[in-house]
Every structure is written in structure tokens, then in C-alpha cells.
A and B are shown apart, each in its own frame.
Chain A
Amino acid sequence: MKRIARLNVNGEIHEVAVNLQETLLNTLRDQLDLKGAKRGCDSGGCGCCTVMVDGRARYSCMTYALSVEGKEIKTVEGLNEGGTTLSRLQEAFVKKGAVQCGYCTCGIIMAAQNLLETNPNPTDEEIRKGISGNLCRCTGYTKIVEAIQDVATGVT
């Protein structure tokens, strides 16, 4: 069974017909064509699908689309203004070499955004904890942690 959901994604209102049990991840990817949130495990284990809802990171694969009507949903596509400018986190990820295959990247950037919005001066441990809900198989997290550190300390 479907219902029309009214979703505020990156400041734009979308009215979409969703299955009652549809996850926000599916709606974003398959209906709104926002591919930044990735399907990695569909069970809240990898973090590739991380988005922000009302300013807090969560797994969009564990979120019903219908449960976040009326809330502010932000995906990685909403971080950079326009097509070519990057947010500071995005820029730092590029400059530090924190992106390899890139499949986990958008989710980790959203987790990092959550971290820096709640704790602007995190320690190394706090950064690692802040992205502990996200898995990466390419980077060993080394350059990811450095990139987040750079943003926190104002290097980027």
C-alpha cells in the first residue's frame, strides 16, 4: 500500500508516493534520485546511508520515509552550495586523500558533519568515535580522521 509522503529534503519539499514500509534510503535513491546516500548493508551496520534528520545523523536504511515527514532531511547533496563549491568537510576529504573507492564517503561526511555540529573541537578519540557507525574498507580511516581534524582546527 502506498501513501503520499511530504518530505523536506535539502530545503526542497517533495511529494512522493511511498510504500508504507519504505525506508528513507529507498525514497531518496529510487524516487528522488539522490544517490549520495548509499545502500551498503540495508541493516544499519555500515553507515553508507547516513543522512541528517533535524540536524542529527541517522541511518536512512533504518528510517521509515513516513516517519520523517515534516522534518528537515539533509543529504550530502545538500552540503555544498551549487554544483562546484564544496563544503569545508568535502574539501578536506579531497585535499587529504580521504576518498578512495568513495562508496562510504558520503555517509562518513554526514557522520562527520553531525560530529562537528555537536562538538566543534573533537579530540582524535572523539573523531574516531564520531565515525564509528561507519565502515570503510579502503582507507584504514587514517586520512578520514585527518581530514575531519583539519576542518575542526581550521586548517582547511
Chain B
Amino acid sequence: MVEQVLDTQVVGARVDNVDARDKVTGGRGFPMNITMPGMLHGKLLRSPYAHAKIKSIDTNAAAALPGVKCILTPEDVPTRVYSPVYFVPTLAVGSVQDTLLLDTTIRSVGQVVASVCATSLEIAEKALDLIEVEYEELTAVFTFDDAMADSAIQLHENKLGNIAKNVIHATGDIDAGFEDADHIFEKTYTTQRVHTCYMEGRVCVVSADTNGDFTVHASMQHLFGLREKLAYILDVAESKIRVVKPPYIGGGFGGKLEVTAMEPLAAIMSQRTGRPVRIAHTRREDFITTCRAPFRMHMKTGIKKDGTITARSLKSFLDCGGNATHGAKVIEVHGLFGFMFTYNCPNRHWEGTTVYTNNMVSGGYRGYGAPQAAFAVEQQMDEMAEALGIDPVELRLRNLHQEGEQHPFFPSKFTTYRVDECLKRGAKAISWKDRKPAGSQIGGKSSKVRGLGLATTTTWTSCCAGQPDLYEHSGAIVKMNPDGSADIGSAAIDIGCGQNTTFCQIVAEELGLPLEKVRMTYADTSTVPFDAPMHASRGTYAAGGAIKLAATSARQVLFRYAAAMLEADVDDLDIRDGNVFVRNSKDRLVSVQEITALADSPIVKMTDKGPVPDGPQFRGTIIGTSSLAPDFSPIVGGAMYAEVEVDTDTGHVAVEKIVYAHDIGKVINPMGAEGQVEGGVQQGIGYALTENLLFDPENGACLTTDFLDYKMLTAVEMPKIIESIFVESIEESGPFGAKSLSECAVIAPAAAIANAVYNATGARITSLPITPEKVLEALGKL
């Protein structure tokens, strides 16, 4: 459902994904497919212990194996301490630098101990078995309470109490707010570890040449972040490293937002051997490399009888595992956006603590701390609505921020903000008015009961404007070819959200070209301007904004040339359907192709004195460039409604229908936007019900390292109906009015489903995932 609010041709049209034909016939562009002549195969040796000191490593037997070309142990690699997170400069104060490429202290099962490369994968695997490591096992801590206990063993020097980071943000007077309240609600909510489950595993191929330059291919979400991390870890100039942009990658979802051990180790092994080195994770390795961090959240809300919230407070703990990495940033996004943003209230207090444990290291995952917060915030909203006798939709409407308002503590206005409209339109689409009282079907004839639930989400597009220590600039090159087509050079990677298509649409619209005349082209860190990662729902808004600006600048050159050809004023020109024309005199036109042909291939006529110009001459490729940091991050949100059926005999929850209404700004790529919602729902339901990385409580080893044990939804368990409603408006700062979408679709589902389960059963489940066991237990049947 899209309201047309701009007169556009390509933007907003249901167009084919520009990479789809390639992807349905084999998908040649994935980094997983890259091989190089003479390439060696690397493998990583991983620790079986959760907490240990490496006493010694004997590589003699492995090195003697024919075909083994290089082995790296901690003493063979640089020892600079870093934060691996791509969107934070390595030495930024806001991040925690606690990672070593190969550390002699082991802090989680699976931490990389050594690496090998050989002429075949089989030989490399065999060599791993021959490396003898002597460990001194240390006491491991796996829970918040054990890690923060006074007597707990300390995992990092200088990190007392195993606190990696502690942050407090507050506005107003929280105590006065609670005193003002008629009712106070408080509860503890917990969430589990889940994996991003990108389908293409992490892989890299690194080739070092004799000049000391590195060429890097990898499945990742940030070219320049990988360049900066590699340069720092290897202690070389950034320009010595050329990271090549893959045409697309097989999914990221935040799971490829940091440098892992594989890229630097492959680089060093390539340098030592003079041959390209490829390292690819097994799925088992992928499962223990990144996850959405588990949280424990204690939330307290003060509210008046009329539903006005007077005080909101949250104390959150994040288990970051053995190293802080993303945990130091997820905690902030969780608090500032996930918790603080959504509902207006003068008195807010949040404290977030990132805790070291010997569990697997947590990473980035779509939503970045916000799904966890929504699980707490949106359930407490429902609990309050029920206690006060106010409809849950109405309670939210009463407490939302309003469009046009200045955000109380961010340098942002709610320029376009339509979550109120999203709430209303979603309620209508799911028939909210037919919702039955909570638990009213229990004890009835059928063991199956139905329920409706909702959750809203509000976050920031891009999330980095005004944050001094985060990367947030984008740039692009738009170059026109003699045939009238345009090529885009951009470091923004299509990670599966259809960015290549969206970007081509933006440029096509700006240059008045049909979509097929615009292409994404080759790019690497040496040829295109910097771009921040493909993360934080920033692709369309931030990278797309820069790409549009580059197209605008190319258009200005086009107009300058056209003005000369048409003998018209530049200011009177417009562009559409492949032609530049004089406004109000549409028969005065020249095709884009005529202009670009002149620019790149001068037209001459032969005379007896040789070639002379024929008509105006414009020597020079038409090219537009941009590089800028957006000075604004528009606020975006939506409302998700879920209908569930709960089997009260088994506790099984089936999601029957999802309606998601989203405050998107302008829809540029409608099929892509729907896909974002539909895919977000798949991930969100998995988070709510089935997905859970589980660990052996004795030794910390992951028990769910394949898809038989880690339960993602298949097509069979998905709701048959997922309805996307896009509430459009024109965000002036965005390309063609666009804001963003991706993360919102994954923030709300778990909370909406938890509320729907409550509505169906009268049982409130405050820990994720909502397993059949928990439901039966809550129903008193277990």
C-alpha cells in the first residue's frame, strides 16, 4: 500500500532487482566464489577451552607435513590491541580496545590460537590436528552473576569486576517522576543469543604482492572498515591495502561488521608465502563467531491513571563474552535508541553495563540492541495498559513523540514521524477491534487459542550523525558513458537488501534515464570515496543520498553541455525520459546520449585541411562526485501487529499473520521494501520462538553449530500473511524523501508476539525465546 507523493518515474516503481538475473543463473559475484592462481588454503586452530593460558605451542609436526606453507602462532603476529568493529575508528574513545590478533589468553571456546595454510584444504586440516598446544586451564565464568561477583576471576587487566563498559544516560528527575506516578510497574526481562545466519559464510582471499601491497576480497559489510582494521593490525599505511568490493554478498545482517582473525592472518600468511591465501569458515565456525548479545533488563515505569508516563528507567546488562567488540556499542544503541527513544516522558534514566564472561563473543545483529529493549518496553506498555484499562493502541498513542517536536536529548527533530498513523492503519488491517480479552479462550472447547499483540519501534536512520567517534560519511562517483548510460562507483555493498537496485533507481531518476541504463560497477578502496558500513539502516538514506548528490553533480555537467547545444539557459533545463529539454518549450530537446557521445568522443568532419570540429566540443567525461557526512539522522519507526495461535496442549506458538506499518519517508524500491519486512519477520519470529545458541554449562562449548540444532524458520512455519503498509511522507534530508526501514522490521516482532501470546493465553513470558516449555509452564501445565 503506497501513497504516491512525488512525481517520479523510476523511484517508487516495482522494478526487477538489478542483480536478480545473475543470481538466478548461478550468482557469480559472491566472495565465496573467488579463487586465484596459486592460491593456498588456510585453516584456523581454535581453543577447546573457555578460559586458559597458552603455555606452549609445538608446530614441528605440522610444519613437516608436505604441502604446509606457513603456520602462525601468537609469537609470529603483531601485538597491537584493537577494537574490531568496522564503524568505529580503531582508537576511538567510545570503543573498547581489548582484542589481539592471536592472544595467549583464551577467553572463550573457539578463540583462534594459530593458523595454517597449505596447498590444499585437506592438508591444512590435517596440519591443524598436528599442532600441539599446552593450555593451563583457568576458572571460567558463564553468567552475569558469576562474572560480576566480588570473588570472580578477572578476564582482562584494568577491567575490574569484569565490567567492559558502563554507561548512564538520564534526563529530568527520575525520582520525582516516580513520585508523580499513580502506579509503578517493574519487571525483569531476559533475552538469548541468536545468530545472524547469513547464508554465505565468512570468507576471505588475500593476496600480498612484492611491493608490500595487499589485495583483499571478503564477504563483509564495510570495505573501508576492513582496510582500516587491517592496516592498524598489520601496522601498515591504509593505502597499502586495497579492499575490493564484491558485487554483492550472501547476507550480513550485522554479522559481518567486524574484522575477524581470518583476514589479518590470511594477509600475513600471504605475505610470508608470496601466494594468495583463502580462508573460509565452516558453518560451525560461523556459529561461534558472532551473535546478538543476550541481555538482562530491569525495567521500571511510573504512570498516571490517565496513561501519562511520568518516569521510565532501565538497568541493562549485556554479556559480551570474552572481548568487548560490538558489546561496547550495542549497549549504547540499546539504551539510547531502543529504550530512550520510543515514548515521550520528561524523566528517563538508563544505565547499561557490558559484562565480560567466558561465553562466545557477541557481535552486531540487525537492530543492534533495540530488539532486546523492545521486548521489555513493549511488554511493559501492555502490562500497564491492561492494569489501567486503557487499550494498548491508545496508551501508545498518548505517549508517542509528535511530528515536528525537537527530540529532548538528541540533536534531531521528529521531522517526519508517522508512527501514530502506523498504529492506526495497522490496527485496522489486523482487525484490532475484534481482539478478545487476555486468556478469555482458555478452558474453552478448543485447545488452540488465538491472540493479537502489537509493538512499536522507533529508531534513528543511520544513527551516527552528531556522534563524533563514529564513521558516518558517504561518497560516490557517477560517470556517464558515450552511449548515454551511467555507472555508479560506490563503496556501499549490497548485502541483500537490494541496495544496488535502489541506488540505480536513484541515479536513473536523477538523470532521467531508464533503469537499465544505470549500473553499479567495480569499486575498491583505491578507486572510490570512503563510505561508512552498510549497517544501521543507512544504505538508502546515507549512501543513497551521496549517490544522488553525485548524480546531481553529473547532471549539472550534462545541463551545461545541453545549454550550449540548445542555446538555452541552464536554469531553464529539465531532464526526463532520456532527454534534456527546455522547460515550457518541450520540443527543444537533446538526448542524454547525444550529449555524452559528444563529451567522450568528439564528432568531427573531415575537410581537406584535416578533421575539424562539427558542432560544439566538450572534451571530458561527464562525471559527478560526492563525499559528505549527513548532518542529520531522521527518526523512523513503525507498528507491528501479530496474530498467534497457541496450542495449550503443547505450548507451541504459531504466528498466523503479521501486519507491519512503517514510517518510511518515501518508498524508492517497493519490492525491496516489502522484502525487508518479510525477511525481518522471519528473523523476528525466530528470535521470538525458536532460535537460541545454546552452550554446555560445564565447558562453554556451543551445542547448536548446525541448522539441525539451531532452529531457523522454514517456509512451513512462516505466517501465510505478512502485510506491509508503508506510510509515506517526504523527508527533506533524504534522497527523494526516503528515510529507512531494515532494522525496524526486526526490532518489533518478538515483543509483538510476546504480547499476542499473553492475549491468547493470559500468560506473560518475560524471557526469550518463548519456547513451548515456557508457555506450558506459564499455563501451569508442566
Contact = CB atoms under 8 A, between A and B. Distances in A.
A106 B715 contact: no
B444 interface: no
A102 interface: yes
Interface string A1-32: 00000000000000000010000000001000
Given A97-B17, A135-B197, A77 B678 contact: no
Contacts of B23: 99, 102, 105-106
A89 B683 CA distance: 26
Contact of A100 (B197, B679, B712, B716): B679
Interface in B25-76: 25-28, 30, 32-33
A22 B31 CA distance: 22
B199 A137 contact: yes
B20 A101 contact: no
Interface of A: 19, 29, 34-36, 38-43, 45-46, 48, 76-77, 79-80, 86, 89-90, 93-97, 99-106, 109, 124-125, 127-129, 131-145
B26 A97 contact: no
Nearest to A80: B25
Contact of B198 (A77, A86, A137, A145): A137
Contacts of A142: 674-675, 678, 718, 722
Q: Is the interface of B mostly helix, strand, loop or mixed?
A: loop
Contact of A101 (B280, B496, B720): B496
A101 B249 contact: yes
Given A36-B26, A143-B678, A104 B715 contact: no
12 contacts: A40-B200, A43-B706, A43-B707, A46-B199, A93-B20, A94-B16, A100-B672, A101-B494, A102-B19, A129-B716, A137-B199, A137-B251
Q: A106, A127, A135 — which one has the most chain B CB atoms within 10 A of its CB? A: A135
Interface string B683-721: 100000000000000000000001110001011101010
A99 B718 contact: no
A136 B199 contact: yes
A137 B25 contact: no
B624 interface: no
Contacts of B712: 135, 137
Interface in B524-549: none
Contacts of B253: 137
For the complex of A and B, list the 7 residue pairs with the smallest distance between their C-beta atoms, beginning with the closest.
A101-B496, A45-B707, A103-B250, A102-B23, A97-B671, A140-B678, A141-B715
Contacts of A104: 199
Interface centre among B248, B498, B716 (most CB of A within 10 A): B716
Contact of B200 (A43, A100, A101, A139): A101
A77 B498 CA distance: 23
Given A43-B283, A45-B707, A138-B675, A101 B25 contact: no
A101 B201 CA distance: 13
Given A97-B671, A105-B23, A137-B199, 6 more contacts: A40-B283, A90-B24, A97-B672, A101-B199, A137-B712, A143-B674
Contacts of B680: 140
Contact of B24 (A105, A131, A138): A105
Contacts of A80: 25
A100 B498 CA distance: 6
